[in-house]
Amino acid sequence: MSLFRTIVQYLYAPIFFIGFIGLAICVVDLELNKVWLIALLLIAVMASFVTEWLIPYETTWNQPKNDRKRDILHALVNEVSNALSIAAIPIVTLLFHGFDIWPNGWPLVVQLAMSILIADFGITMTHYISHKVESLWRFHAVHHSVERMYGFNGLMKHPLHQSVELIAGTIPLLLMGLPLEVGVLLGFATMMQLLLQHSNVDMRVGPLIFIWAVAPGHRHHHLASRTEGNVNFGLFTMIWDHLLGTFMLNNKQPRDGDLGIDGRSDFPIDYMQQLIEPFRKSDG
């Protein structure tokens, strides 16, 4: 079991990310029915859950804390809104006719890599600013109210804050003339990254921890303290954290009881209450 665990620890993240995104690229490149992407997404979610049970980072995080129904609702609402946004790409690119400089002749995998890097900058900066500006933090706090980390709660976001991140990450791409198929793959890659970033798998990524924003580095970001948690903002990469001076690597990993929001033990768990919470007047 020890050898099996070690092998899975080191191979899980790269095989999961490269494998599922590689299959998604094949589906798009071969012009197969996009239903296959939905099937791949469901398989990825199941693979994430199974691996979390096989080699958990924190065993107690595999147990629901009255949050399963809420997280499913967040995921459904946010994924439906993402799908609608992707479907609207052709319309948006017509309405906001930009520079039309998208390199359509490049291999699909290279186009996707470029879109990931551009979107990563916009979403990371929005994330960073959301920790500095109170009006944005009130919406982003919904995501930080989690008391355990597992793959599925990467989609636990207030839909309005998700919209702000989506706009910041995709406007440059749309102005460049982002093709629909690349937008579809970017959405799929983002879901794979969120599953890895919030995973409860006891994964190891070696030196990649300095550049790849997956769970071993991102867990620090979810520390209850907004001071200690103001680190490792990146969605896909840690590039912008290094430039912002917010990258942090600590061998002392957060454990059960370390997550949440300081001073907000009363933060609502119910889905509808979480949607309303940012609009409530603060006690201060």
Query: For 174-223, what is each residue's pLDDT tens digit?
Result: 889 899 899 999 999 999 999 999 999 999 999 999 999 999 999 999 99
Confidence check: pLDDT of 13 > 70: yes
The lowest-confidence range among 105-109, 116-120, 194-198, 225-229 is: 225-229
Q: Which tens digit of pLDDT belongs to each residue from 14-47? A: 999 999 999 999 999 999 998 999 999 999 999 9
Res 98: pLDDT: 60
Average pLDDT, the chain: 90
pLDDT band at residue 130 using 50, 70 and 90 as cut-offs:
very high
Weakest mean pLDDT among 147-156, 175-184, 248-257: 248-257
CA distance 7 to 72: 31
Give mean pLDDT, residues 251-263.
Answer: 86
Top mean pLDDT of 79-88, 145-154, 240-249 is at 240-249
Which residue, chain included where needed, has tokens 């001073």? 263
pLDDT cut 90: percent of the chain above it: 69
- Residue 96 is predicted with a pLDDT of 64
Q: How far apart are CA 94 and CA 89, in angstroms?
A: 9
Q: Quick one: pLDDT band at residue 282, thresholds 50, 70, 90?
A: low
Confidence of residue 284 (pLDDT cuts 50, 70, 90): very low
Q: What is the largest CA-CA distance in the chain?
A: 57
Average pLDDT value for residue range 146-162: 90
Taking the model in full, what pTM does it have?
0.92
Query: What is the amino acid identity at position 208?
Result: L
Question: What pLDDT sits at residue 79?
Answer: 82
Q: Are 147 and 74 in contact (CB under 8 A)?
A: no
Domain spans, the chain:
66-198+205-279
Please state, as a whole number, how many other Cβ atoms lie within 10 Å of the Cβ of residue 103.
11
Residue 117 has pLDDT above 70, yes or no: yes
pLDDT at 91: 65
46-68 mean pLDDT: 94
Question: Percentage of the chain surpassing pLDDT 70?
Answer: 93
Residue 161, pLDDT score: 93
DSSP string, 170-183: HHHHHHHT--HHHH
- Side chain identity at 73, as an amino acid letter? L
